[in-house]
């Protein structure tokens, strides 16, 4: 059987993924009318209706539901094949990562990866937004969340837990931190962060009176960490990101008690179809080894 035009299949894949002709048109740089035309051509070639047209919405028919996963997988395989052909040509590994992970964990360790793989150049993209691998270029990404992203392979790195941290000098300014109540004598950074409530609840203090304006926000944990290092106040930080500062005596974590946000973790992710790309395997293996070493 002769295959339908690739253009019609590409339009179908985008429309099925979005459940919307307008969004598919925006992604592909087409008009909505052109999308509708390509879908009609495909339906005529297949001999079955693929979408139910409703006001402001389209829904896949049973035939469309059966076809969509196979078409998506086919395009993923083509992307992976094309990426693989570029592997030896550019030798570049592009990593999309959230800012705090990049600055506080990855960058200080990245030299060992580059020593082990001198043939690979590394490009970092730092963003708080989730990357869409189907529309943006990156080989691998670091995300925070529950690890369930369709079409992606996810490797758990470590928990996004949290605990108060401060400088030794700030602690001494109130005679030391002996109990959680002693923290309430000091300025609290990002007092509106719900992590504070979760942590104080964990130590048996309900509705603590925090010395800090809840409207003040740093936005990123690595910026809050810099404010803590500057002695501006007590921050609620993820211990895994500040082990070096703790070991060097720049920061103290006065209590071993950490708060946690359900099943919230940091994850290494990449498209399932690209799991066998050599540079992705190399970084994955290195990253998981680094995590194992850091938790010993």
The CATH code for residues 6-84 is: 1.10.10.10
Q: Which residues of the chain have pLDDT under 70?
A: 1, 83-90, 214, 295-296
| CATH 3.40.190.10, the chain: domain bounds | 91-160+263-294, 163-247
The DSSP bridge pattern shows strands 152-159 and 121-126 to be: unpaired
pLDDT of residue 105: 93
pLDDT of residue 63: 92
Asked whether the whole model's pTM tops 0.85, one would answer no
| CATH 1.10.10.10, the chain: domain bounds | 6-84
The tens digit of pLDDT for each residue in 149-166 reads 888 999 999 888 999 999
Task: Give, for 77, the enclosing helix (H) or strand (E).
Answer: helix 62-90
pLDDT of residue 113: 95
Q: CA-to-CA distance for 95 and 184, rounded, in angstroms?
A: 40
Fold of 91-160+263-294: D-Maltodextrin-Binding Protein; domain 2 (3.40.190)
pLDDT of residue 281: 92
The DSSP bridge pattern shows strands 140-145 and 92-97 to be: parallel
For the chain, how big is the Rg over CA atoms in Å?
25
Domain 163-247 has CATH 3.30.1360.10: no
pLDDT of residue 86: 61
Choose among 36, 31, 30, 47: nearest CA to 12.
36
pLDDT of residue 75: 86
pLDDT of residue 87: 55
Convert 124-146 to b/e letters by CB count within 10 Å (16 or more is b): eebeeeebebeeeebbbbbbbee
The tens digit of pLDDT for each residue in 76-125 reads 888 777 766 665 556 889 999 999 999 999 999 999 999 999 989 999 99
pLDDT of residue 150: 85
Distances (CA, A) of 101 to 121, 134, 194, 222, 238: 19, 23, 20, 8, 10
pLDDT of residue 61: 92
pLDDT of residue 296: 64
């Amino acid at each position: 059987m002769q295959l339908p035009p690739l253009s019609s299949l590409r339009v179908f894949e985008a429309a099925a993924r979005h459940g919307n002709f307008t969004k598919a048109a925006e992604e592909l740089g087409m008009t909505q009318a052109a999308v509708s035309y390509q879908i009609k051509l495909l339906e005529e070639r297949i001999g079955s209706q693929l979408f139910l047209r409703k006001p402001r919405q389209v829904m896949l028919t049973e035939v469309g539901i059966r076809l969509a996963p196979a078409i998506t997988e086919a395009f993923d395989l083509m992307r992976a094949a094309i990426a693989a052909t570029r592997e030896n040509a550019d030798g570049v590994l592009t990593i999309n990562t959230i800012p705090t992970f990049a600055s506080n964990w990855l960058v200080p360790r990245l030299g060992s990866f580059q020593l082990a793989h001198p043939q690979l150049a590394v490009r970092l993209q730092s963003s708080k937004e989730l990357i869409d691998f189907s529309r943006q270029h990156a080989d691998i990404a670091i995300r925070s969340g529950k690890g369930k992203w369709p079409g992606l392979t996810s490797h758990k790195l470590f928990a996004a837990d949290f605990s108060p941290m401060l400088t030794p000098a700030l602690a001494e300014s109130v005679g030391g931190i002996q109990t959680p109540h002693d923290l309430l004598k000091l300025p609290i950074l990002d007092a509106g962060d719900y992590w504070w409530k979760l942590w104080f609840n964990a130590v048996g203090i309900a509705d603590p009176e925090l010395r800090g304006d809840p409207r003040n926000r740093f936005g990123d944990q690595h910026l809050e960490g810099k404010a803590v290092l500057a002695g501006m106040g007590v921050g609620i930080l993820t211990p895994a990101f500040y082990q070096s500062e703790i070991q060097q005596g720049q920061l103290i974590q006065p209590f071993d008690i950490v708060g946690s946000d359900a099943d919230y973790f940091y994850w290494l992710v990449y498209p399932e179809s690209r799991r066998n790309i050599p540079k992705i395997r190399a970084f994955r293996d290195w990253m998981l080894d680094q995590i194992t070493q850091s938790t010993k």
